[in-house]
Structure 1
Amino acid sequence: MVNEDLVEVFKALSHPIRIDILDHLKSQPLTTSELSEKYDVSRYATMKHLAVLVEANLVLIRRKGRLRVNYLNVIPLQELYNRWVSKYEAPHANSLLTIKKLVEGREGNRMEQTKEIKMGTFQIEQDIVIQAKIETVFKAITEDISSWWHFRVGDKESQLIFEPHLGGRFYEDWGNGEGTLWGTVTYFKRNDEIRLNGLLGMSGAVNSSYSYKLIEDGEKTILQLSHQAVGILEPHWEEAHRHGWNELLQENLKKFIEQK
């Protein structure tokens, strides 16, 4: 994160309404009208606050027909955390938190067993700015995926293969005809967009799709990730995938391309 971007983030976080907006968007994406109804200020004032958050890349706008839907983008906050917090965490404090979560998790599991299984949904939107041309980013996604996609279901020696065409597979090859399917390409436009259907670590009655949209911005490329899932979802899956995408794209893919 360059210092100019950092200034925009701190500016965005300097007003209580803007912090409150981020808290609301953490729970779920909301339209501008839905956010306006939560505050005793005019719609115009709410839109001005949203504009500051968008400028800092903390909020992403996706249009659905005539609606403007606002999504939390966690990447700038994760960068702040990586720069100032993560390096100074006390190991013993982290261990205590782990124990606390473990105990609370056991109690929660007892309660959870009495609840009905329910349908759920989530949508993750992230924008990653990469200092490279579109062609370079597209090649890294389709041809060099084993170099930065470090998640594996099998052992670390398994190979990741992306077949760059409509109907192609993105899969993990364990050898001897064994492996696992990460996704199937449903839309493929070179140097523009790729869409896939795939469970991405989830299991059971779930429909999951994700896409990469590339936008040229001078010498930079904006990679827009969109991931939707609907079905019988475990409570932790949304947060796990949000963190996983940030790690894969912001930390791994971006560094892989920019440090070549």
Structure 2
Amino acid sequence: MYSIRQANEPAPDIWQALADPTRRSLVDRLATGSKTTSQLCEGMPMSRFGVMKHIGVLERAGVIISRKQGRFRVNHLNVAKIHSLQSRWLSPRGAAFAGALDGLTDITGGNDMSQSDSPTSASVIDLALDWPVAVSVQKLWATLFEQPEIWWPRAYRAGSEDAVMTFDQKIGGCLREESANGGGVLWYSIFAINPRRSVDLVGDLAVRYGGPARSTLRLEVLPGETEGTSILKLTDAIVGRIGADMRNSVSGGWQAILGEGLVAHLNKQA
């Protein structure tokens, strides 16, 4: 965290966080990709301390996710939070927010993970997303592994209509899609797992989805701010042939699969 608040001081909401032009500028910078604090401070008309205070406000509001990578702290735009603003406030109000929606579409991207774009040389994408979930850590963890058939949307499956999703909870286990005719897709394999806390996976992105590229995915399940709630944290690092629109496509895909799939499913049950 870049700023410390008193225990009784409420976290700023997203409207307060985005009300300041400096903070909106930081969001614009992160819309193009994750950045270290030093990169965010470059060219800003204030001291590093001043920029860090603004980052702290955005972080407490859930707009920015800051995670340690080696000796650096990397800042990510929490697209899940932007999506919630769009779906909760902007989309229902239509034309009144048309301009704002155009900007948010540029940040969040579409929902098609197979979006075609021109391939470029090898590069890296770092994504981080957080979702609050209105169920316990135990419930979230169990649903993640036991019910992928329910929360993984059919629009994001590559096989036939009868394809079924399964997720093995063990080292070497797979998140896979299988059809009755023997076809299927191995989406991810588990290479590390800490029960009811975290799972690390690796998966390959085929050419048809914008690759070839390799994704190293980490999912963490943490207790929420109130009893009986939890937080789902995603970190995805993709290395390979990455086109210009790949970041928006992947972040929009995870928001649809986990945010509008798993998280929304559990929140409806709460």
TM-score class, shorter-chain normalisation, is 0.7 to 0.9
Q: Match of 2:128, SS? A: strand
* Residue 222 of structure 1 pairs with residue 231 of structure 2: yes
What's 2:192 paired with? 187
The one of 140, 145, 149 equivalent to 1:142 is: 145
Give 1:200 deviation, angstroms.
5.2
**C-alpha deviations, 1:11-62, integer Å up to 9, x for none?**
1111111000011111121122222222121111111101110111000011
Q: Match of 1:188, SS? A: strand
| Number of residues of Structure 1 aligned to a counterpart in Structure 2 | 235
Contact 1:128/1:224 (8 A) holds in 2: yes
Contact 2:12/2:57 (8 A) holds in 1: no
**C-alpha deviations, 1:202-235, integer Å up to 9, x for none?**
3653121212111113322111101111111233
What's 2:266 paired with? 257
* Residue 35 of structure 1 pairs with residue 43 of structure 2: no
Contact 1:183/1:200 (8 A) holds in 2: no
**C-alpha deviations, 1:162-189, integer Å up to 9, x for none?**
1111001111111232211111111112
> How large is the Cα RMSD of the aligned pairs?
2.3
Q: Which residues of 2 match residues 141-220 of structure 1 at below 5 A?
A: 141-150=144-153, 151-199=156-204, 202=209, 204-217=211-224, 218-220=227-229
Structure 1 residue runs of 4 or more that deviate by more than 6 Å after TM superposition: none
**Which range is displaced more, 67-76 or 232-241?**
232-241
Contact 1:183/1:197 (8 A) holds in 2: yes
Q: Which residues of 2 match residues 8-47 of structure 1 at below 5 A?
A: 8-47=13-52
Q: Distance in 1 between matches of 2:24 and 2:36?
A: 17
Larger Rg: 1
Give unmatched runs, 5+ long, in structure 2. Answer: 1-9, 103-116
The one of 73, 82, 85 equivalent to 2:87 is: 82
Q: Match of 1:82, SS? A: helix
Aligned residue type for 2:222: I
CA separation of 1:191 and 1:63: change in aligned 2, threshold 3 A: same
Q: Percent same amino acid at aligned positions?
A: 27
Give 1:149 deviation, angstroms.
0.5
What's 1:238 paired with? 247
The one of 62, 66, 69 equivalent to 1:61 is: 66
Give 1:78 deviation, angstroms.
1.2
Q: Distance in 2 between matches of 1:244 and 1:28?
A: 16
Q: Distance in 1 between matches of 2:162 and 2:56?
A: 46
Contact 1:60/1:126 (8 A) holds in 2: yes
Q: Distance in 2 between matches of 1:247 and 1:66?
A: 32
Aligned residue type for 2:54: H
The one of 121, 124, 132 equivalent to 1:121 is: 124
Q: Match of 1:234, SS? A: coil
**Which range is displaced more, 129-138 or 73-82?**
73-82
Contact 1:172/1:181 (8 A) holds in 2: yes
Q: Identify which of structures 1 and 2 has the higher relative contact order when contacts are C-alpha pairs closer than 8 Å and 6+ apart.
A: 2
Give 1:258 deviation, angstroms.
2.1
Question: Which TM-score applies when normalising by structure 2?
Answer: 0.80
